[in-house]
Amino acid sequence: MHTPHNRAQLGGKLSAVLVAAGSSVGLGNIWRFPYVAGDNGGGAFLLVYVLCVAVLGLPLLLAEFSVGRAAKRNAVGAYRSLDRRWSGVGYNGVVAAVLIMGFYFVVAGWTAGYMVRALTGELARCASADDYRTLFERFVGDPWRPLLYTALFVLATHFVIARGVQKGIERSARLLMPLLFGALIVLAVRSLLLPGAAEGMRFFLRPDFAKITPSTILVALGQAFFSLSIGIGTMVTYASYFRPEADLRRTALHVTLLDTLVALLAGAMIFPAVFSAGIEPSAGPSLVFITLPSIFNGMTLGPVWSALFFLLLVLAALTSTISLHEVVTAYLHEERRLARRTAARITTGATLALATAASLSLGPLREWTLAGLSLFDSLDFATANILMPAGGFFTCLFVGWRLDRHIFRAELTNDGRLPGRIVPLLRFLLRYLCPAVVLAVFLDNLGLF
């Protein structure tokens, strides 16, 4: 197969793991995972989630890695070069990346706004959880302030992408990921030292099997997909920059372990704090923006913990927005033959426009709804419930049934230099189990069960 030879490649050995983990670890782990786990029974959910990650997430991650590194192209180009008829899987990914950015940048902007408010002491001035709720609702509904932070976040992402794969993406992951881990560990330890922490950890870790229902399984799978960034070609794009000697099996295993570890640490940070303050763990998406600042406020050095926490969210979100942006930039650059800078600018302009509309849809444009949902909620709904499961499903089918099995084996074993015992099991999972389960999630998300 013809492969472009002047393509960027990641440098160091660790880089493949760091950039891919940078994409996976994000708001999905720290903002979404704890509230979804809290809503779905804590320990019981955790158990199902870990099973979903191991049995479905890991094979799918390896499938995307194989497609990306075999083709050495952006998401659309990768599927197109392996089989023209399957380029739709790539287009699905590019569209999904734009739509996810539309709402993800808005939430990322909030985290930046909250970090600034923690630093200026504004967060410390609230007295009760109700004050925090009012503050959050006012902030989100304001026409200008959230927009300003969203725009800043988009520009920061643009800056990294415009610097290119090695100088931008790779360097930022090498800097930001260790910072993120450091901040997370400090916060989790602080939280575990709170009185009442044990009760929180019991809720988080002890499974109550009576709470495992079909819906727990489906919610856990959806969370695993979003958290691992699979189903929309992000990992195809990143793997296209991996070196030929990178061990895909090991990289995928490390990314999965890191992503899960961050979700666990986020749980260890949030549940003890929530229980110690006597707050319901099922508070929903507001857990991070309303509940946590009020908990931090009651602690010694409260503003410092708040600022550190929101800094952590900013870092996690940034490495993920970079990966989403790269899916679209690489596509425009390679398939539409635009200069990389131009491709990045177009992506930035389009996502900024969409994110602006999504942000306003929670404030001044609240009346404009699509099937009863604000634009912000529609973007979340359409990507998580339709485009990501569809992308995952077709990726399983493509790699399981269509991709030449020799290509799949060659990618996983680096042309026979690594042991290939795992390949038949992976192919089996990708052919049968993964698509069947993903289809079930898809139908369930559409409300057909």
* Residue of the chain from 20, 22, 23, 305 that contacts ligand PFF (CB under 6 A): 23
Which token pair is 398? 């493509």
Q: CB 335 → ligand PFF: shortest distance, Å?
A: 18
Stretch that binds ligand PFF, among 6-14, 82-90, 204-212, 229-237 (CB under 6 A): 229-237
Written as one letter, the residue type at 431 is R
* Residue of the chain from 15, 24, 81, 191 that contacts ligand PFF (CB under 6 A): 24
CA distance to 10, 192, 326, per residue, from 208 (Å): 44, 22, 41
CB atoms within 10 A of CB 228: 31
**Cβ closer to ligand PFF: 232 or 239?**
232
CA 352 and chain centroid, separation: 19
Which token pair is 382? 């359409």
* Residue of the chain from 27, 63, 112, 115 that contacts ligand PFF (CB under 6 A): 27
Q: CB 324 → ligand PFF: shortest distance, Å?
A: 5
Q: Does 234 bind ligand PFF (CB under 6 A)?
A: yes
Which token pair is 426? 């992976």
37 CB-near residues (< 8 Å, 6+ apart): 45, 46, 49, 204, 267
CB atoms within 10 A of CB 341: 14
What does the alpha-carbon distance between residue 407 and residue 413 come to, in Å, rounded to a whole number?
10
Q: Assess contact for 224 and 24: CB atoms under 8 A.
A: no
340-360 vs 302-335: helix crossing angle, rounded to 10 = 130
Q: Assess contact for 171 and 15: CB atoms under 8 A.
A: no
Number of residues binding to ligand PFF, judged by CB under 6 A: 15
Q: CB 114 → ligand PFF: shortest distance, Å?
A: 17
Contacts 24+ apart (CB under 8 A), 340-345: 340/162, 340/164, 341/162, 344/158, 344/161, 344/162, 345/158
Q: Assess contact for 87 and 80: CB atoms under 8 A.
A: yes
Site for ligand PFF in 77-106 (CB under 6 A): 100
**Cβ closer to ligand PFF: 229 or 413?**
229
**Cβ closer to ligand PFF: 363 or 391?**
391
* Residue among 307, 223, 275 nearest 31 (CA): 223
* Residue among 408, 390, 33, 346 nearest 184 (CA): 33
**Cβ closer to ligand PFF: 24 or 351?**
24
Q: CB 246 → ligand PFF: shortest distance, Å?
A: 20
Q: CB 227 → ligand PFF: shortest distance, Å?
A: 4
Q: CB 316 → ligand PFF: shortest distance, Å?
A: 7
* Residue among 97, 371, 30 nearest 234 (CA): 97
Stretch that binds ligand PFF, among 26-34, 84-92, 119-127, 249-257 (CB under 6 A): 26-34
Alpha helices by DSSP H, listed for 121-195, are: 129-141, 145-162, 171-192
Q: CB 27 → ligand PFF: shortest distance, Å?
A: 4
* Residue of the chain from 86, 203, 226, 238 that contacts ligand PFF (CB under 6 A): 226
**Cβ closer to ligand PFF: 24 or 276?**
24
* Residue of the chain from 16, 20, 26, 376 that contacts ligand PFF (CB under 6 A): 26
**What does the chain come to in residues?**
449
Q: CB 61 → ligand PFF: shortest distance, Å?
A: 11
* Residue of the chain from 10, 17, 21, 28 that contacts ligand PFF (CB under 6 A): 28
Stretch that binds ligand PFF, among 20-28, 276-284, 402-410, 434-442 (CB under 6 A): 20-28
Site for ligand PFF in 276-335 (CB under 6 A): 320, 323-324
Q: CB 66 → ligand PFF: shortest distance, Å?
A: 17
Q: Does 223 bind ligand PFF (CB under 6 A)?
A: no
DSSP 441: H
* Residue of the chain from 15, 40, 66, 227 that contacts ligand PFF (CB under 6 A): 227
Stretch that binds ligand PFF, among 1-9, 225-233, 265-273, 328-336 (CB under 6 A): 225-233
CA distance to 56, 105, 108, 210, per residue, from 62 (Å): 10, 27, 28, 33
**Cβ closer to ligand PFF: 320 or 445?**
320
Give backbone dihedrals phi and psi of 40, rounded to 5 degrees, phi first. -115, 30
* Residue of the chain from 229, 240, 276, 294 that contacts ligand PFF (CB under 6 A): 229
Q: Does 263 bind ligand PFF (CB under 6 A)?
A: no
Q: Does 29 bind ligand PFF (CB under 6 A)?
A: yes
* Residue among 449, 440, 426, 448 nearest 57 (CA): 426
Contact footprint for ligand PFF (CB under 6 A): 23-24, 26-29, 100, 226-227, 229, 232, 234, 320, 323-324
